[in-house]
């Protein structure tokens, strides 16, 4: 710390013994030791606080970098999602243009009435056929058919 060798410490001890005398030298040594300990403790406290601040600043910097990376990833994902959505819309438009007119209503969301082709005979038994004109193409399962909820 101060680069003091043994010879310098020995000279200081001899001068202190001559000036203070043998009676007051132990008290002075204790007092000097107390101040040296306090100075070291203060130095270590300042050093630890400085290291903590530097670590906090490094952590803040890394958090800012992570936030910037997340923002750029979010922007890229939103751009890709917009491209995918645009592609899906284009594909839907293409499908709509390729679908014949009689089934276009199903693509647009309307539920068309299902009719039997002219070659198929109507049901002879008098009960409703599965493909009856009043029944939608797909039906939701009945409440009794569903599994009970836990």
pLDDT > 90? residue 97: no
Tell me whether residue 80 is in a domain.
yes
Asked if residues 123 and 144 have their Cβ atoms less than 8 Å apart, the reply is: no
In terms of Cα–Cα distance, which of 125, 93, 121 is closest to 107? 93
Tell me whether residue 89 is in a domain.
yes
The pLDDT value recorded for residue 78 is 96
Report residue 99 as tokens: 């679908």
Note down the domain range covering 72.
50-101
Tell me whether residue 95 is in a domain.
yes
The stretch 12-16 carries a mean pLDDT of: 87
Q: Give tens-digit pLDDT for 31-55.
A: 989 999 999 999 999 999 999 999 9
Tell me whether residue 11 is in a domain.
no
pLDDT > 70? residue 90: yes
Domains in the chain, number: 1
Could you give the CA distance from residue 25 to residue 18 in angstroms, rounded to a whole number?
9
Tell me whether residue 56 is in a domain.
yes
SS (H, E, C) the chain: CCCCCHHHHHHHHHHHHHHHHHHHHHHHHHHHHHHHHHHHHHHHHHHHHHHHHHHHHHHHHHHHHHHHHHHHHHHHHHHHHHHHHHHHHHHHHHHHHHCCHHHHHHHHCCCCCCCCCCCCCCCCCCCCCCCCCCCCCCCCCCCCCCCCCC
Tell me whether residue 41 is in a domain.
no
Tell me whether residue 112 is in a domain.
no
The pLDDT value recorded for residue 2 is 63
Q: Give tens-digit pLDDT for 101-146.
A: 555 555 555 555 555 556 545 555 544 444 445 555 555 555 555 5
């Amino acid at each position: 710390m101060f680069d003091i060798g043994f010879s310098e410490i020995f000279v200081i001890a001899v001068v202190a013994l001559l000036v203070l005398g043998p009676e007051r030298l132990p008290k002075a040594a204790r007092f000097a030791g107390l101040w040296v300990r306090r100075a070291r403790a203060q130095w270590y406290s300042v050093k630890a606080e400085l290291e903590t601040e530097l670590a906090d600043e490094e952590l803040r910097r890394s958090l800012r970098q992570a936030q910037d990376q997340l923002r750029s990833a979010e922007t890229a994902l939103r751009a890709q999602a917009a491209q995918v959505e645009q592609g899906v819309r284009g594909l839907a438009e293409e499908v709509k243009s390729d679908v014949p007119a009689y089934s276009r209503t199903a693509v647009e969301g309307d539920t068309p009435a299902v009719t039997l082709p002219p070659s198929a005979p109507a049901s002879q038994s008098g009960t409703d056929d599965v493909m009856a004109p009043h029944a939608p193409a797909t039906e939701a399962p009945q409440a009794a058919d569903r599994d009970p909820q836990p």
